[in-house]
Amino acid sequence: MNSRSVRRTCVSLVAAGAALAGVAACGSGSGSGSAAPAKEQHKAGSDFSPVAALQAVQKKTDGAGSSKVEVTMSMGTTMGLQGAGDLAWGGGMTGTMRMKYTQGTMAQTMKQIGAESIDARYLRDAYFANMGPTFAQSVGGKHWIRYGYDDMAKLMGPSGAVMKDQMQNSTPQQGVKMLLASGDVKKVGTEDVRGVQATHYSGTVDIAKLVGSSSGLDAKTLDAFKAQMTQSGISTDTVDIWVDKDDLLVKKTERAATKNGELNTTAFYSDYGVKVAVEAPPAADTLDFTTLIKPKTPTQQQG
């Protein structure tokens, strides 16, 4: 594998790995978002509004602390992937996921390097991707790539700063918070989700306004991010969530148009409170992605 392929793969994984983790977030996680205690709102009468109900869901889901997650994601002809694992939140997202690239140009690239499936570990300051033995042979025998959130923010500019905020503040209840911030939430009805009776809520979110209202980022960074979102062709995000009788999120879907095609994600959540244990891979078996994306100097190319 040549150095250009290595760099292209590493940069692609910045977006792909973060996007999968972002299924637990998708809205920036810094804001609080409740006008009144969710418990009080939830007891406001038999005809309480969807907003009051979702405030209870936000509190209960956030307080659960961890869950098992299954997710599928597609974006036009660029990417299709599936993932499953355990994630914990509170003080920064941590956890593990197994990801498989199923379609699109990303899947073709990953197949070429023998890494159609990868294991990911999420820590509070970085996530790690195990690229497998074929990739390791081309980078000195090391299997893991480290993606530091601070480095990702620098590499990706304003949108990277927002991504860093998402990665460090991810919880499933961010989907609930998105609907609360949208001002457009409605109750659809009751449906079966994998054998569980769940209440379905839906709404359309103005992404730029959501980021501005819920993140702690400065105005300059936010303005630049909104410009990048506009260039990507994303203006709104349709969010649907399903909630069980215990006020816990069991399913979420999102749909948004981008220049690379329609972005669709579906996530299922279960086993809230599951124990999550994760640690960084051995340093001797890990490379930092910033060292891999640097172009070779003329001397290195000759060697």
Lowest mean pLDDT across 67-76, 107-116, 238-247, 285-294: 107-116
The better pLDDT of the pair 173, 213 is held by 173
Q: Residue 221 has what pLDDT? A: 65
CB atoms within 10 A of CB 45: 8
**pLDDT of the residue at 299:** 47
- Return the residue matching tokens 């060697």: 303
Q: Please say whether the beta carbons of 72 and 266 come within 8 A.
A: yes
- Structural domains of the chain, with CATH: 3-295 (2.50.20.20)
- pLDDT tens across 223-250, in order? 766 666 676 677 788 889 999 999 999 9
Q: What is the pLDDT of residues 149-172, one digit of tens each?
A: 888 778 776 666 666 776 666 678
Structure tokens at 78: 């660029």
Longest Cα separation, the chain: 75
> What pLDDT score was predicted for residue 303?
45
% of the chain with per-residue pLDDT over 90:
29
CB 140 within 8 A of CB 281: no
pLDDT digits (tens, 9 = 90+) for 15-63: 555 555 555 444 333 443 333 333 333 433 334 588 888 988 988 988 8
What mean pLDDT, rounded, does the chain reach? 77
